[in-house]
Structure 1
Amino acid sequence: MDSSDAVKKWMAWSEVFISMIMVQVFATGMQLLSKVILNQGTFIFALLTYRHVVAALCVSPFAFCFERGLSKKYTWSLLFWLFINALTGMTGAMGLYYYGLRDTTATYAINFLNLIPIFTFIFSIILRIEKLKLDTIEGKFKTLGAILCVGGALTTSLYKGKDIIHFGHPKIHHNSTVNISQRHHWTRGTFMLVGSVMSYASWYMVQVKLLKIFPFKFTLTMLTCMVTSLQSAVIGLFIDTSKVSWTLGWNLQLITIVYSGALATAATFCLITRVIPKRGPTYPPMFNPLALIFTAFFEALIFGQAITLGSLLGSFFIMLGLYAFLWAKKKEYKKFQAQAQAQANVQVTVVGDEG
């Protein structure tokens, strides 16, 4: 390999790596900003409504540029699955997550996002979309990873232990955070976060069906964000119709909405869709624990939220289990690619012999 090839390979690797680091930085910023405005009393369904309007506007140029002119069929079946897609993956999953985040802490809440691949795997087994395959090394590691992740989540939820890292008093003023310790409702928040994870896992099941009938990712994301905004607005108006809850001002709430829609949704989607064709579907989730580390550090620094022994142990088990699970999925993905390539070669050989 000459120097030019080495440089190109390094450039390609660094582009993918930096893209995934950016995704985790965006996720960290969203966690911290959302925690602040939720503590200030922001109405969650107003946040969901406005966030996804921004996200739809940000994704729409990509949909019009890259998927304009492609043949798209809008049927009643598609509208039904779009509705379910928005309800499970955004309105339900994000709504429950925001309620869980408000009742706990950013570090505690983000731990649960690492459980999404595990719950998706469990649902796939139940629905017989995927087989357990305990007779293979991949099947054993996936099962081990699932057990470690669930054990880590239980450790984080049920065991606090002593404070390990504590930077002292919060750097953000007391009035802006509404005394964080008084807003913690751990049991209720944990149930909300588990519900969010299950909703996200259900969403991946819906994606399998939806992408078969509508394989246009940018347009699909734009439409889903639009449907999510409508769903959130309707649900929100049933809960709270006061003008104060729906009014936007030039404040941190507006910044969070724009940030969440533009960076945490639109930019993140674009970066991940660029990386998956180059590194496979298991590559992006491998970086998820970085958001946990970033969030834990900055939450301790900004909010004065102590990092406990239970949180560290639980996070360690979740990260260990996640990497075991993703390693097994990566091995399976490579085997699947090799089998598909071998089958394609056989077909080409058969056609050549017939000719």
Structure 2
Amino acid sequence: MARWVNGRGNLLPFLGMVLVMLAQSGSMVVIKVAMSDGINKYVMVVYSLALSTILLLPFALFLHRSERPPLTFSALCCFFLLAIFGSSGQIMAYVGIDLSSATLASAMLNLIPAFTFILALIFRMEEVHWRHSSSQAKVLGTLISIGGAFVVILYKGPPIFKTHWSNSSNKLQFSQQINWILGGIFCVGDSIVCSLWYIYQASVAHKFPAVTVIVFFQLLFSTIQCAVFALIAVPDPTEWELKFDIGLIGILYQAIAATLIRYILCTWCVLKAGPLFCSMFKPVSIIFTVFMAAIFLGDDLSLGSLIGAVIIVIGFYAVLWGKSIEENKIVKGVENLESSCHNVPLLQNRT
């Protein structure tokens, strides 16, 4: 694995995706806290996207101007479609977190590797050779990670760590089964849309390799799309008023860390390492979220969460091992090809 991470130039994408998952896990907790404080989820989406767009504008205008390909109508259409995936996924994620919990929303993201793997097979971006141990590891690792996520949801177990400051207001307010189910459905929808985003993002990034421009137009179009939806869903002007409270802190965090930095890092990592590599980091986010929820939301850390996290890590590294085997085979194949080319004489004697 070390050879795969270092030798193939994937160390920076590896570290980048870890930071992406940290930002996303923090986002789950911040969203839950902000919405519990009273801010409307749709308003929060619009304000955070708008602020991210404004902050990114100078970078999109002046960064790598000479190296950027021409901005065509076709490229703008691609960015608009990416924005549809991004904005619809964000709205579904916010609704899912509002109805359920940060931990459940993070756990449902572990469905993304399975959806991405299936889509990558359909679009011939990945191959499965059932007799090869690398393909078996990728498939089994994905299933194990998903299984670990459901362990976290379905088996709580006795608490192994309690937060003494937690109170009833921080406990689950959505004990109704229907809210839990609906929240899970919306989070699954977010996972499906995110998988589509990963696949399409890889295609767009190779055609238009200017990360800041791609992210800027995604955020711009997402802001417009979400604003139209939010103005219809939230017609009350008082809901749009900003106050100096946890809601404003949530918007700032969402705009800077969870949207701007995460989008740029994720887009760059998809360009450098591919969609499946990036999607496989989703299981790591639930580990971060469980501990953040215990610290900042007062949620007890239970035995089920710990067991599920361990299972997720096992599946996660099984997939990485499978990918490393494939990378090593590619390296050996290229080295053998280059060696055979060097050994062929320029002039061959013919009899």
TM-score by length of 1: 0.80
Q: 1:199 to 1:349 in 2, by over 3 A?
A: farther
How many angstroms apart in 2 are the aligned matches of 1:243 and 1:62? Answer: 32
2:58 to 58, 61, 65: 61
Which runs of 5 or more residues in structure 2 are unaligned? 1-5
Say which SS state the counterpart of residue 182 (structure 1) adopts.
coil
CA contact (8 A) 2:201 2:267 kept: no
Aligned amino acid, residue 181 of structure 1: L
Q: Is the counterpart of residue 220 in structure 1 residue 214 in structure 2?
A: yes
Name the residue aligned to 2:257. 263
How many angstroms apart in 1 are the aligned matches of 2:130 and 2:253? Answer: 43
C-alpha deviation, 1:308, in angstroms: 3.0
How many angstroms apart in 2 are the aligned matches of 1:324 and 1:58? Answer: 39
CA contact (8 A) 2:117 2:276 kept: no
1:93 to 86, 89, 98: 89
Q: 1:338 to 1:102 in 2, by over 3 A?
A: farther
How many angstroms apart in 2 are the aligned matches of 1:164 and 1:189? Answer: 26
Q: Please, which moves more after superposition, 313-322 or 253-262?
A: 313-322
How many angstroms apart in 1 are the aligned matches of 2:326 and 2:136? Answer: 12
2:151 to 116, 140, 155: 155
C-alpha deviation, 1:62, in angstroms: 3.1
Say which SS state the counterpart of residue 160 (structure 2) adopts.
strand
Aligned amino acid, residue 31 of structure 2: S
1:133 to 129, 136, 145: 129
How many angstroms apart in 1 are the aligned matches of 2:15 and 2:127? Answer: 34
Q: Is the counterpart of residue 182 in structure 1 residue 179 in structure 2?
A: no
Name the residue aligned to 1:5. none
Q: Is the counterpart of residue 315 in structure 1 residue 309 in structure 2?
A: yes
Q: How does 1:202-351 map to 2 (within 5 A)?
A: 202-271=196-265, 291-339=285-333
Name the residue aligned to 1:82. 79
TM-score by length of 2: 0.81
Q: 1:193 to 1:260 in 2, by over 3 A?
A: same
Name the residue aligned to 1:51. 48
How many angstroms apart in 2 are the aligned matches of 1:62 and 1:339? Answer: 40
CA contact (8 A) 2:83 2:221 kept: yes
C-alpha deviation, 1:343, in angstroms: 5.5
CA contact (8 A) 2:107 2:153 kept: no
Q: Please, which moves more after superposition, 46-55 or 330-339?
A: 330-339
Which runs of 5 or more residues in structure 1 are unaligned? 1-8
CA contact (8 A) 1:167 1:301 kept: yes
Q: 1:220 to 1:310 in 2, by over 3 A?
A: same
How many angstroms apart in 2 are the aligned matches of 1:152 and 1:252? Answer: 32
Q: Is the counterpart of residue 166 in structure 1 residue 162 in structure 2?
A: yes
